[in-house]
Structure 1
Amino acid sequence: MSRTVEQIQFAPRMPKPLRVAAYARVSSGKDAMLHSLAAQVDHYSTYIRHHHGWEYVGVYADEAKTGTRDSRENFQRMLTDCRAGKIDHIITKSISRFSRNTVTLLETVRELKELGISVYFEEQSIDTATADGELMLSILASYAQEESLSASENQKWRVKRNFEEGIPWRFFMLGYRRENGKLAIVPEEAEIVRSIFDDYLAGKGVTAIAKRLNESGYATQSGCVFHKSAVERILRNYAYTGDLLLQTKFRENHLSKVTRKNQGELPRYHASDTHEAIIPLETFNAVQAEIRRRKEKYAPTKPQQPSPFTGLVTCAICGKHYRRKTTATGPVWICSTYNFYGKSYCYSKAIPEEKLIQTAALVGHTGEITGITAHNDNLLEFTLKDGTNAVKRWQDRSRAESWTAEMRQAAGEKTRERKQRHAES
């Protein structure tokens, strides 16, 4: 009996492509640096796509960020994708581009290694997939960190020297421009600054001042609309007096780059008559006294409990949140856009707090409500924890409800005066 042997041909097993991403970063927002970042992104995209056996995942790039890990949005997004199993290998230009902090760098590399992900640093020719990769990495990272410290100390020395000579390190404020190393007044901007100080001393609040500036079409030096904080900064800026108070803030260290208010940790410097004043010192001091007076007058006597409606009410017209506001007729909930910019920006309607409470009670317990959308025609759309929705209409306050004790007293006095005039005639 003959035996037949047949050879079976197996298809060759194709290796799984290596999923590769790149990380790029520049530490300055200047045009030249951003052009460099664009060139890096283009280089890595082309390099990975044309490498045999590699699958292109993407290039993660951060602009004008520090070398700290937590502050970089796209660096964090890359790590998230690594943890999700989307990346096998990462390419980056150098150790300092990845992180200037030795501890952070090694922690990140070790976490990636546990996930089976290797990192290749081009300038140092280090691949963490190799046996001696991490050793070389820790040595070179220490050098990178020391280099960063040295650069930081040199910068601090230059800043300190400028301060001792009465020269600001940076100067960016409404009303001035730097010309030939000196500060020159911009007349039209200076008038805006003077009007802000005049309005405040005349009794206007910072919100009303900001609203007036925006309605007049004015903008900050950055070309943005005025917010309450921008007006407050101008009112507190001592530099408008023609003198400078230097080193009021400082950087915590060269790694975190956190800015702190100088509470006596470092010397402060006062430089007199460094530039032409926009605001007389007497006016500036009067404004500071008025700021303190208002703060003391309107300071809450006891800590306020957060309202259960905080962060819940959203405007259906502009999408902004409603905020609680105390008025002469009692607290109301008002769209932040309408409150700050006026009806021309958002034509929503304020909701008296008692009406909001009454309407919410028709739906259920406040703790069951996860969101409230305020529509026109007094309609409130409630979203509940169980996923259901309910729409309720609130009723406007009657005229009697809208009157305050002061309004009633004033009306009574007018009535008595009218009766007296009638009796005399």
Structure 2
Amino acid sequence: MKKITKIVKDSKDTVMKEKLRAAAYCRVSTDSEEQLVSLETQKLHYEAYIKANPNWEFAGIYYDEGISGTKKEKRSELLRLISDCEQKKIDFIVTKSISRFARNTTDCLELVRKLVDLGVYIYFEKENINTQSMESELMLSILSGLAENESLSIAENNRWSVQRRFQNGTFKISYPPYGYDYADGEMLVNLEQAEVVRFIFKEALAGKGAGKIADALNKKGIKPKRGNNWISTTIRGMLSNEKYVGDAILQKTYTDDNFNRHTNYGEKDQYYIQNHHEAIISREDFETVDKLINQRGKEKGIVKGSGKYQNRYPFSGKLKCSQCGGTFKRRIHTNGNKKYIAWCCQKHITQADECSMKFVREGNLQRAFITMMNKLIFGRKVILKPLLKALRDMRKADSISRISELEKLIEKNTEQKEMLIKLMAKGYLEPALFNKENNELEIEAESYRDEIESLNFAMNSEISKTHEVRELLRFTNKAQMLITFDGKIFESFVNQVFVYSREEVGFQMKCGITLREGL
């Protein structure tokens, strides 16, 4: 009898042969004709790219045009792509680069995690990253931080523009202090608030401290410009504010390369303008109050602006509340017979209804830093070296090319001015027409020079970041895994710590990236 053997198809082979439904995402940030042509090129490229892969099934092209990539909520097609993934219509996504997908590190990681949970993976063509085979999302965090720098460079140019307005005296104070209003480009005295300002200085001249003055104002039911209650730091700031005598100091604070604001203790140039606006307080009273404040500081051993008190500890001035933006203050808490160090949001201490952020233990912060640094030490070759290379290459070629182009435009501009002078000398041009054309060329040349200076400024900022990454890489190459917290190491590499909750913080490194860690 013939024996018949039935061959059963292996289910695993069937799964292996099922095609992945692959879609592509494209985006351009402006709706100019050149950018729209680029978008069409991307669409054609990815349609052909997906259809050429025998293991993929074309699931469509999703594209946003003329929309910034900074926030995902502004991109309708990206949101539609995510929705289709949730509805199990897509298995795999292809995109040009992290900067095309998201320029905000938080959004990028949030979307990647969400898609991975849905079983949908992303391939970033430029960075050659496939989220399905990625060993750690820390690498993606750093690379997406690099993409975010492209958006931040625009802010750097704006910062440079403000610096120029400081120098030529055209900067306008858009947010005047308590006691003044802003109208038609000028600071005008608010008569009602001015009386409160005079009361504050009168009390200070009588020897009362900032805390007692704040309490007196709160009892009278007088509201400050921001918040519901007066606090001592607000009073101290007013008593040292030169605007109350009619002067203005420009650039009291500055923004660093990571766009964090700091008090200017001489790191940047300042510009003093006398008689900038109408005074509320006489110079004599203002100077007397300043002497009283300095005398009290000397008695307590605190030198103004030295940071002796504020920066006694590694975390001093570096912990920032993600809810209200306030700084954390060091305190000693007691649990039974045991005492421990805690850091509390200053706004939560005084106005708990406006900020609900609870305290965090110093020991937890130290352990989070140790964990984060050990991750960098372990993964330095796959994390910091690519980061250093990317920073070295970033935007430099484009900037140099644009500077070269601008220099040629300046040369052409100079030739045009020389031609005007010759025509004027030969009597072919009327003086009025000559002045008009010459002024236009001067304005044009100035704009070219300004742009060159702006590009140089941006490149110098990238050089600063590169230096910080190089220092971090040099340290991690030599360092052993950390066991205990070292304040000097913390101060060397960390710019700020953002407290998101009692379970998570973000260490913003001096090289510009922010790394989240659990507490």
TM-score scaled by length of structure 2: 0.39
TM-score calculated relative to the size of structure 1 = 0.46
Q: Give the structure with the higher percent helix.
A: 2
